[in-house]
């Protein structure tokens, strides 16, 4: 479709043509390959012993079993599968099962702070780091990803790849090596950019705003360090199993053991340094007092937030320091695109900036709130998740009502501020 619609000078046209060309590349099986005789009288495709490479992989090193792949796709013959197609199947499967859901969760709003807080969920991202690590280890352990239904098209495509005896020849050995390398490099990147960041001494304290049970254990760990129990090896994590909801996707929950979670999260952190940092030092007394409560304290419990109590300093620290910290910068990237679009109206920088602020103030909250409202009308979670955006006349009517509501709020704010204050602003 792209090739038919785009002009030949389009970059997208060139990319589409290249992909179509690559899709024609298929590694040929040994018996169909060239048998041109070399000077020594042996076939060009023969190995060092003069015999053709085996068409079956060993299977002893964790590589794909071609028999299983062939059973999944009995109509494929060796040499039928384009190597790029197998690669695409693998990337799509990994993205569908792991990468996209976790990435989307980083852009979700914090349920505590409303639907327009998308991306500002750092108080939950520390515990999410453990869940991501646990799921990645589960995929990689014993190559269990090969048994997952998301990868069935990739596994089936391998039946059409011949075994050529060398990864450089682009056959089955190449794909086995490629997937091993992918997981190794992804794991290295995960450790560097996610695990080491969110479990660091500086960021780990954000967990006080996360799951109450994990926050409780974190505070117990700090007090044990303060009392010298860690040094004396007199501290043990709770082995209780807890359920963490709405972390990977809307309506989904994860079960985890507290000890496994906290061991993973605290391995890079120094409790002594954390206790001296002003983020914790200034609220240490309130944190330690929470350990004396008969029940595990949820610092952000809405009923508790209605009244002042001894945990006010903790709540204030979470709302003022943790909540504004975005877990990723997609919201900023979105603004960059909107500013670029507004620049095309040929207005100067000041007016352009004001227009973007107005646009964002109106559009972003409505996009989220309209979806939430539409989902409330659906009865099952499956039906709720199908709602991605409100369109058509329903969107226009809803947006008009939303703008009217914002304008009413603005007029009320001006009246409360007074004319003099409004002019000063």
Residue 105 pLDDT more than 80? yes
At residue 134, the pLDDT reads 94
Q: What is the mean pLDDT of residues 89-102?
A: 93
Where residue 59 falls (left for φ over 0; alpha for ψ -120 to 50; beta otherwise) is: left
Token pair of 19, please?
A: 């992909």
Q: 243 has which bridge partners?
A: 255
Residue 209 pLDDT more than 70? yes
Block residue for tokens 């071609």 = 66
Q: Is the dihedral of CA 241, 242, 244, 245 positive or negative?
A: positive
> Which among 241, 254, 224, 287 is positioned nearest to 129, based on CA atoms?
254
Name the percent of the chain lying above pLDDT 90.
40
Residue 346 pLDDT more than 90? no
Q: What is the mean pLDDT of residues 16-31?
A: 73
At residue 280, the pLDDT reads 95
Beta strands 241-245 and 253-257 are antiparallel
Distance (Å, whole) CA 126 – CA 204: 7
Q: What is the mean pLDDT of residues 91-100?
A: 94
Distance (Å, whole) CA 64 – CA 57: 8
Residue 50 pLDDT more than 50? no
- For the ranges 24-28, 173-177, 239-243, which has the lowest average pLDDT? 24-28
Block residue for tokens 């590589």 = 63
At residue 120, the pLDDT reads 81
- For the ranges 65-74, 231-240, 264-273, which has the lowest average pLDDT? 65-74
Q: What phi and psi values does residue 421 have, to the nearest 5 degrees?
A: -65, -35
Q: What is the mean pLDDT of residues 67-82?
A: 61
The DSSP symbol for 96 reads I
CA separation, residue 414 to residues 366, 403, 407, 421 (Å): 22, 17, 11, 8
- Position 348 confidence tier, pLDDT thresholds 50, 70, 90: confident
* Burial readout 366-396 (b: 16 or more C-beta within 10 A, e: otherwise): bbbbbbeebbeeeeeeeebeebeebeeeeee
Count CB atoms within 10 A of the CB of residue 201: 15
H or E, element range at 385 = helix 381-386
At residue 353, the pLDDT reads 85
- At 242 the three-state DSSP class reads strand
- For the ranges 63-67, 209-213, 419-423, which has the lowest average pLDDT? 63-67
> Which among 240, 245, 235, 243 is positioned nearest to 258, based on CA atoms?
240
Q: What is the mean pLDDT of residues 163-168?
A: 86
Residue 29 pLDDT more than 80? no
Helix, strand and coil content of the chain, in percent to the nearest 5, comes to 60, 5, 35
At residue 307, the pLDDT reads 61
- At 37 the three-state DSSP class reads strand
Q: What is the mean pLDDT of residues 259-280?
A: 95
At residue 309, the pLDDT reads 74
Q: Write down the mean pLDDT value for the chain.
A: 82
pLDDT digits (tens, 9 = 90+) for 274-298: 999 999 999 999 999 999 988 999 9
At residue 5, the pLDDT reads 67
**pTM of whole model > 0.95?**
no
Contact 73, 160 (CB under 8 A): yes
At residue 89, the pLDDT reads 93
């Amino acid at each position: 479709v792209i090739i038919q619609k785009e002009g030949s000078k389009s970059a997208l046209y060139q990319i589409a043509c290249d992909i179509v060309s690559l899709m024609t590349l298929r590694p040929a099986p040994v018996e169909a390959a060239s048998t041109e005789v070399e000077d020594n009288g042996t076939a060009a495709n023969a190995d060092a012993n003069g015999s053709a490479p085996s068409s079956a992989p060993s299977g002893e090193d964790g590589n794909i079993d071609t028999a299983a792949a062939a059973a999944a796709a009995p109509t494929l013959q060796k040499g039928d599968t384009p190597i790029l197609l197998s690669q695409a199947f693998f990337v799509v499967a990994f993205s569908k099962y792991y990468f996209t859901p976790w990435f989307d969760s980083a852009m979700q709003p914090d349920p505590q702070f409303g639907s327009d807080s998308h991306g500002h969920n750092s108080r939950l991202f520390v515990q999410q780091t453990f869940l991501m690590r646990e799921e990645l280890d589960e995929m990689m352990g014993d190559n269990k990803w090969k048994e997952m239904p998301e990868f069935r098209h990739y596994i089936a495509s391998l039946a059409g790849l011949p075994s050529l005896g060398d990864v450089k020849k682009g056959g089955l050995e190449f794909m086995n090596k490629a997937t091993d390398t992918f997981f190794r490099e992804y794991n290295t990147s995960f450790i560097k950019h996610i695990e080491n960041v969110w479990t660091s001494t500086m960021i780990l304290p954000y967990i006080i705003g996360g799951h109450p049970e994990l926050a409780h254990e974190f505070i117990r760990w700090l007090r044990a360090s303060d009392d010298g129990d860690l040094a004396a090896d007199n501290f043990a994590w709770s082995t209780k199993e807890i359920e963490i909801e709405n972390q990977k996707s809307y309506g989904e929950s994860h079960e985890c053991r507290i000890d496994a979670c906290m061991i993973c999260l605290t391995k890079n952190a120094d409790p002594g340094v954390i206790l001296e940092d002003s983020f914790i030092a200034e609220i240490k007394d309130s944190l330690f007092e929470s350990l004396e409560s008969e029940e595990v304290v949820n610092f952000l419990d809405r009923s508790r937030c209605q009244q002042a109590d001894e945990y006010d300093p903790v709540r204030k620290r979470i709302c003022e320091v943790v909540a504004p910290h975005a877990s990723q910068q997609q919201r900023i990237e979105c603004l960059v695109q909107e500013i670029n679009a507004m620049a095309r109206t040929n207005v100067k920088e000041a007016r352009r900036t004001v227009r973007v602020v107005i646009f964002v103030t109106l559009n972003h909250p409505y996009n989220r709130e309209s979806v939430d409202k539409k989902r409330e009308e659906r009865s099952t979670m499956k039906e709720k998740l199908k709602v991605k955006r409100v369109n058509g006349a329903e969107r226009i009517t809803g947006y008009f009502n939303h703008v009217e509501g914002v304008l009413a709020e603005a007029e009320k704010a001006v009246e409360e501020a007074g004319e003099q204050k409004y002019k000063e602003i």
